[in-house]
Structure 1
Amino acid sequence: MSKIWEFFENLGEYVYVADAETHELIYMNKKTLKSYGFQSLEEIIGLKCYEILQGNSLPCGMCNNEQLKPGFFKEWEYYNPLLRRELHIKDTLVEEDGRKYRMEIAIDCGNLNGRGHKSEDYRNMEVALNEAIRVAQRQESMDQTLQVLLEFVGKNLEAGRAYIFEKDDHDHDHNTYEWVAKGVAPEKDTLQDLPPEICAEWYRKFDENQSFVTENLEEMKDVDPQMYEVLVRQNIHSLVVVPLYDDGKVIGFYGVDNPSTRYFEFVSEMLQIMGHFIVSSLKQRNLVRELEVMSYSDPLTTLGNRYAMERYIEQVDHTEPIGVVYCDITGLKRINDSEGHSAGDRLIRRCCDCLKRVFEGNGMFRIGGDELVVLCTGISEKEFYQKVEELKTELAAHDVSMAVGAAVNTLEAVGKDHLLTESERRMYQDKAEYYRSTGLDRRKI
């Protein structure tokens, strides 16, 4: 026998091996083959583990392949609905011939020696979990999907609060999603930008593929006083927190506060199962956000593009005054022709920097090669025109020239097209005055 797992051929426990990348079954020992109705290994080769072992059409939400390491076993418990057995599972990663394999050894725990109550609760929870994932997948956005999942977790575990924390590039943690039970105060807004030392003990456990579980918060008082102070303020007396992994790296965590003692013994496992779907949803959310940035922003200046401007206008109060500043960069063609487009790009960025310094907090857009637009809301007409004069001073101070036209009105009164056209018309007046006063040939610049 060339494969290490074939040593378990006659073991009285369930043993199977699957390709960690493709999920294709490679091996089952005699007990596992017989239990699933197979006569030989030839019958299972090429079949997917999730199809045969769980009866699923897609990879299992509880799949922990990313957490497995060669030489280490991850242990957990699971009720298998096809075998109708409670299993104590040991998973590890085996590398052979340049490939990675998931090897699982499952010890049959029967009906837990009469403790059928857990198995019944566990089975009911799994059914609800699958239904929650189906409902979550039908949501219009990943933000809604994640909220549905947290609501399911919180309600079904009878917890006070369910939440997701994500780690940023500086290792600070942010509470990005939250569900709270009726009568429980939300904490999301107060749990932002937590410094690394607050959750340091938890991350040490996460790095060892462990969750953090405590049924009595007072046990943390001396062991982790910083985290204890954060939690006791929230009236937490018990909690379960599990890590969120992406490609083997911890990207955050999620958990529940004060879950029902009835479910406490398998809360961690249920959260881990759901955790894989949560990570997938977070990754899809991030992809959508990246695509949205690409669709609505100008890559050279980071300002919004024409599509972003249209969306911005749709969202403002059409009964309130809005000021429009329409700018045209003077001399861009000459710079591009004489010094190259890199120099022209630098000129565009310098003009945009002037806009940002004066109109920070307002909508700023690049709607053409040399055309920039600022939309100002929540500002009086007097303040708006003062800002326009500030812009002209800023441009002169940084030795760049733009023709500037400005107009202010309500969209309800004149409509967006009229307001944009009016500010553009005044910009062309300003440009004509520039050419007249300087004597320059507009065709050359």
Structure 2
Amino acid sequence: MDYQSFVDKIDIMTCIISVETKEDGTYGEIRIVTGNPAYIKSIEHANPDAPQMLTSKFVPNSLYQNYFTTDMNFEDFCFRCAVLKQPMHTYVHPDRYDFWFNLYMIPLGSEGNLHYCTYSQVVSKYADSEQMSNTSASTASEVLNTCIKLRGATNFQHTMDEVISDIRKLCDAQSCVILLTDDENKTCSALCESRNEYSMLPSMTGVLREGFYDLTLSWKDTIGGSNCLIAKNRNDWEYIRAKNPKWYESLMKNHVESIVLFPLRSSDETLGYIWACNFDVENTVKIKETLELTTFFVGSEIANQRLVKRLQFLSSIDMLTGVLNRNEMNNRIDGLRKSGSDELKGLGIVFADLNGLKRVNDNQGHAAGDLLIKNGANLLQNVFVGDEIYRAGGDEFMILLSYTTEDKIVEKINKAKKLSRHYDNVSFAMGYCYQNDLGDITQALRMADERMYDDKAKYYRDHPELKR
């Protein structure tokens, strides 16, 4: 067949691809046989509105890796179309390009162990929501079900548990996980996990360990600029073994026979990954199509949840010291007033007020005063570990100690006073209240406050030269 004449009759960017098959049923080289003028121009003439290839020279019948890096999803589509004679279509945003690709592939003939198909693409800088929603009825139903659950969620964790269970069932997988990554702290954590009752795969609680975050950093390079990684046959596993041998060994050790891995993104930030292990490989195309859309919405929801938590954090933290602020303290006290008696049992209250802040502000300036407050907060955090520390305002702090005893409170107060000599200019007047069963939180607060002021008065009697 005259493929050049055939492809020249197509207006949009189109090339002819050949896929070599081997006697063992696997495939070998994938080549770009020829292309129409629009396709060749996209390679040989730089255009800011089109992706840049690895070379600016088109050579007929070259390996596709001459133009872009190895992409296992691309290879799978070529094999399905050219060899299995399945027409293929996808709308995708590969990570290696800042473009969306609307891809169409049509099977052509075969000559011995070479099999051919067309590859046509329409490229755009921005996502087309109509194309994203142009999926099969069953895929649209699965994605819509996920969206409804996410948007109607009142309990985020419970909803994510449901979503990951639905995704595992869709994939008919033994295990499915959403892993969140924290690049700032270089850690990762499992948000949710679903396993079937016959799974022999280890739980994520047993897999997450020191160094696992470093392993996740290698996944971006392994995905290789595509939007996901799917390993289901010998070619795929050979690629992973060569690209990421450490991860390959871990997967083999843990009896992973197939895996589909998608990054979870919001804007340009990678939030984590979602994957399914030992899934139904006969359903790979639908699984990929469904997860491409589902991860888009899951990533957005996780990003929104992180933003809400960040805003909650900022609204509850004193920016100077890093301890809880007065607003959070008032909310906590109001909650204790409304709570039952059980939460008031074994509750201790400590007020701590810095001595000499006004003198430092007057003599050394407010920058020195702020440093004194920060050092005071650091001292309290080092002593009252695990307790709730609030900056009530100015130089005053309040600490709540749950399930404690009077002896423990006194011990911590004495420790704070002893340690203060190691902190420049830090000295606290402190008062506390403890009753095994606090009946009146307001009265307890007043008692701790009065004792604190008695301690401050004693301090200035002992050090009249430091009196404000």
TM-score normalised by structure 1 residue count: 0.69
Provide, for residues 172-217 of structure 1, a one-character-per-residue CA deviation record: whole Å limited to 9, x for no partner: 4523312313435642464255445534553213341252222369
Q: What is residue 116 of structure 2 aligned with on the other side?
A: none
Partner of 1:265: 285
Cα offset, 1:348, TM superposition: 0.3
Code of the aligned partner of 2:232:
E
Structure 1 residue 295 and structure 2 residue 315: aligned?
Answer: yes
Is the Cα contact below 8 Å between 2:429 and 2:453 reproduced in 1?
yes
Alignment partner of 1:123 out of 137, 147, 150: 137
Report if the CA contact (8 A) 1:69-1:92 is conserved: no
Residue 276 and residue 193 in structure 1: after superposition, are their counterparts in 2 closer, same or farther (change >3 A)? farther
2:433 is aligned with what amino acid? A
- Asked whether the 8 Å contact 1:142–1:281 carries over to 2, the reply is no
In the alignment, which residue of structure 2 is the partner of 1:191?
208
Contact 1:162 1:255 in 2 (8 A): yes
Which deviates the most, 352-361 or 330-339? Answer: 330-339
Structure 2 counterpart of 1:159: 173
Give the residue type in structure 1 aligned to 2:422.
Answer: A
Q: Which among 417, 424, 441 is matched to residue 416 of structure 1?
A: 441
Deviates more, 1:205-214 or 1:428-437: 205-214
| Partner Cα separation in structure 2 for residue 297 and residue 283 of structure 1 | 21
Q: Cα gap change, 1:106/1:214 in structure 2, threshold over 3 Å: closer, same or farther? A: closer
Aligned partners of 2:301 and 2:283: how far apart in 1?
Answer: 25
Shift of 1:156: 2.0
The amino acid that maps onto 2:323 is L
What is the aligned partner in structure 2 of residue 349 from structure 1?
Answer: 374
Query: One-letter code of the match for 1:357?
Result: N
Q: CA-atom RMSD, angstroms?
A: 3.8
Q: Per-residue deviation at 1:138? A: 0.7
State how far apart, in whole Å, the 1-side matches of 2:287 and 2:409 are.
Answer: 57
Q: Which residue of 1 aligns with 2:102?
A: 104
Structure 1 pair 131/365, CA: closer, same or farther in 2 (3 Å)? Answer: same
Q: CA deviation at 1:105?
A: 4.7
How far is 1:129 from its partner? 1.4
Secondary structure, in 3 states, of the residue corresponding to 2:397?
Answer: strand
1:260 and 1:311 map into 2 onto residues whose CA distance is 50
Query: One-letter code of the match for 1:161?
Result: S
From 133, 142, 154, give the equivalent of 1:140: 154
Partner of 1:117: none
> Contact between 1:177 and 1:188, CA under 8 Å: does it hold in 2?
no
- 2:390 pairs with 1:365: yes
CA distance in 2, matches of 1:167, 1:213: 20
Aligned in 2, Cα 1:90/1:381: closer, same or farther, shift over 3 Å?
A: closer
Cα deviation for residue 256 of structure 1 reads 0.9
* Aligned amino acid, residue 179 of structure 1: E
> 1:250 and 1:69 mapped to 2: Cα distance?
22
CA distance change for structure 1 residues 235 and 376 in 2, over 3 Å: closer, same or farther? farther
Which structure 2 segments of 5+ residues have no match? 1-6, 15-49, 54-66, 78-85, 108-134
- Which residue identity is paired with 1:162? C
Select the residue among 313, 322, 336 that pairs with 2:347. 322
List gaps (5 residues or longer) in structure 1.
1-7, 16-67, 78-84, 94-99, 110-120
SS in 2 for 1:198: helix
CA shift at 1:141, angstroms? 5.1
TM-score (structure 2 length as normaliser): 0.66
Q: Percent identity, aligned pairs only? A: 22
The letter for the 2-side match of 1:286 is R
Partner of residue 432, structure 1: 457
**Counterparts of 1:189 and 1:104 in 2: how far apart (Å)?**
41
Using a 3 Å threshold, how does the CA distance of structure 1 residues 401 and 9 change in structure 2: closer, same or farther?
farther
CA distance in 2, matches of 1:235, 1:416: 57
Cα pair 2:318 2:325 within 8 Å, conserved: yes
The 1:352/1:141 distance shift into structure 2, 3 A limit, reads same
